[in-house]
A and B are shown apart, each in its own frame.
Chain A
Amino acid sequence: MPRIPPSVFRQALRTDPLLVPLLPVTRSLSGAQAELRWLRKEVPKPKLPWAIVQRSNYRPLQYILGDQPFLDLSIKCAEGTLIPRWETEEWIARIKPFISNVKIIDACTGTGCVALSFNGTGSNIVGIDIDTSCLSLAKFNQQSNRCDDIVHWAQCDILNWTDDLHHVCKGVNFLVSNPPYIPWEEYTKLDRSVKNFEPQLALVGDLEFYNALVHNLLEPNLNTCDGFVFEVGNVNQIHHVRDLVKKHGWNVGYLMDSAGYHRCVVGWKPDGRFDFKKLCDFVY
């Protein structure tokens, strides 16, 4: 990482001394100014020095402020749960218009942001997570955002096929998931604010999660399920999912995010209710 020039520190000091501790974290003056503005707006004044110290120790801003806007929702964030990413926000906004009146399963729901975003499509939504503290946060978010569609939460481990899981997923029409997708080798090299503060459980994983999603959730429900969208971290994972579902005759494509990375693998039944062809940036 390039060193921040001393001139930037001097400029920060002249503009506002409180910017200086934030500078190594944000690595740009404009970023530090934005974060300081949000901190000033949302943290009560006596707690501001505490918040700045926390932030300068690389604690994620979303954990300090306690929430993150996500589409039209305000999602409460707490330690132990992954912070919603803008990439997720982006692909959900793209996919939402295609969905109406279906049963949706959101596997690895975390804060529940993905599941709750589909509120308003008249759907029956179930969010699944292995962690109970995530589920209670998701429930909180459901209430605070006044989601009136039918949303349920279930505590299941998708890696192991159980009767519970089978029962919950029965009759699913559309499958979404943002599973952990960072391979262990990459995890060790992550930013401090991710590695030291966000749960490893929500980050580290690779092909095994896509295997589980296809084998445990999709394949038992092949006759009802018409489409899926999984977030991915690299193009390998897309290829893996494509190879898994191609044998069922499904169409597969992927989405790119605005930063130019491969972000989602999308699959749909050729004669099903969804036609994601227009949505995809590339179709295999």
Chain B
Amino acid sequence: MLKLLRNSRVPRTHLPRCSRLWYISRPYSTPTASADTSIADPRTFQLHPSLIKRARLLSEELTALQEKISGGSSFSVSDQKRFSELSIITDTYTKYQDHLTNFQELQELFHDEQEPELKNEAEKELRELQPELTAVASDLKAKLLPPHPFDSMACILELRPGVGGDEAAIFSKDMLEMYSQFAHVKKWPYHIMSQVRTENNGITSATISIDEPGSYKLMKFERGIHRVQRIPETETKGRTHTSTAAVVVLPKISEDNENPDADQREFKPEEIRVDVMRSRGKGGQHVNTTDSAVRITHFPSGIVVAMQDERSQHRNKAKAFAILRARLAERERAEKVENERKMRTSQVSSTDRSDKIRTYNFTQNRITDHRCGFSLHDVGGCMNGTRLEEIILAVEKNYNEERSKELLEIEENSDKK
């Protein structure tokens, strides 16, 4: 066994000197598998120099900030926030460095031919340390990636049935329940902003607002087309149908209870039109209508938002503006991403563009996410919100890997130029 190990070790001299590929840690599937068979090269865990540089810069910023705060000259919430963010990253970085040096020292002992007893000990410790190091390395990498601009925000989910008629509407309803249950399990405050029911207890559209700041970070992976394969309640002959539901995730830019007039003032009057239901007769004291529907049209983007769930027109307007701003922000972000992508010569596959993202196969009791190939064999557990997080986390991990890869490619391209 040991002999095999020794032979499999790549002699340092044979390594190409500045091959960047060696610095990229391998995709997340490797550590547990390789832990049993071989001891990895420490360079596998080394991060890309640009990431290390970023980590150093951040820890320098932390020291500067620390001095500023301890000086007591000024206190601001944003400083405090930044401080806690930085200290989390720096902690991970120090932990990572400790582990790495430890690992390298053990490796040297392991390859030291003179002392065979130490060698066994070292091997044992190496085996223990390896998965830990992998975890810390990937953790650090995720933290060092530039954060998504909306990650710290609350979010709004819009659900709409796709192909599949009644069954799609019923599945959308199930999805709505799944997300509310998920928010419940996570102890996130949420409320259903609007829903339009169909005759068969399905929905034609629904909006759910998850009010926890930072929920966008996880929920953003839910955007896309969700496919369901099952025997619908409406099916009489026992055939399996395939239908879809579309989910749009928007960052929550403004609160619902903010003043809609302040919102309205933010837009130019010619950009926006607010329609209300024209009541019969002359309005005012003449009519005591309960129809409080509001529709906002934003001309530059062609976005139309209608809201009719609240009894007060004022609140409907506030909600509609919240959704409008969220949609505009999301569109702006998507355009920015698209531009960045166009600028790059090499097209990289990413999570953002895939349309069908997940399949819920009820007959096989399986949920598969097509972006990372992760399968969960517990449809019930997912639909009641308890195990949805597992899937989302797998997607997130995959997303982080891909982003760091993209980042490296950009760096390499700019190096070549």
Contact = CB atoms under 8 A, between A and B. Distances in A.
Tell me if B's interface is mostly helix, strand, loop or mixed: loop
Interface string B165-185: 000000000000000000000
Given A30-B308, A90-B314, A190 B286 contact: yes
Contact of B292 (A71, A86, A259): A86
B6 to A, nearest CB: 73
B285 A182 contact: yes
A93 B286 contact: no
B261 A259 contact: no
Tell me if A's interface is mostly helix, strand, loop or mixed: mixed
Interface string A82-95: 11011111100110
B328 interface: no
B148 interface: no
B200 to A, nearest CB: 10
Nearest to A193: B288
Interface string A61-72: 110000011111
A72 B286 contact: no
A93 B259 contact: yes
B275 A233 contact: no
Given A69-B315, A86-B312, A89-B313, A233 B276 contact: no
B274 interface: yes
Interface size class of B (residues with CB under 8 A): 20 to 34
Contacts, number: 107
Contact of B310 (A69, A231, A259, A260): A69
B239 interface: no
Contacts of B81: none
A41 B314 CA distance: 20
Nearest to B310: A69
B285 A233 contact: yes
Contact of B283 (A62, A69, A261): A261
A15 interface: yes
B282 interface: yes
Given A34-B290, A93-B261, A82 B285 contact: yes
B283 A259 contact: yes
Contacts of A180: 285
B278 A260 contact: yes
A194 B291 contact: no
A79 interface: no
Nearest to A69: B312
A181 B288 contact: no
A28 to B, nearest CB: 8
A149 B255 CA distance: 25
Contacts of B289: 86
Interface string A230-244: 010110000000000
Given A86-B312, A93-B261, A194 B290 contact: no
B261 A181 contact: no
Contacts of A129: none
A191 B274 contact: no
Given A31-B291, A258-B274, A259-B276, A191 B308 contact: no
25 contacts: A26-B291, A34-B290, A69-B310, A70-B312, A85-B287, A85-B288, A86-B292, A87-B283, A88-B284, A89-B313, A93-B260, A94-B261, A178-B285, A180-B285, A190-B281, A191-B281, A191-B287, A191-B288, A203-B285, A231-B284, A233-B282, A258-B274, A259-B276, A259-B278, A261-B283
Given A62-B290, A191-B281, 13 more contacts: A26-B291, A70-B312, A85-B285, A89-B312, A94-B261, A181-B284, A202-B285, A257-B283, A258-B274, A259-B277, A259-B283, A261-B282, A261-B284
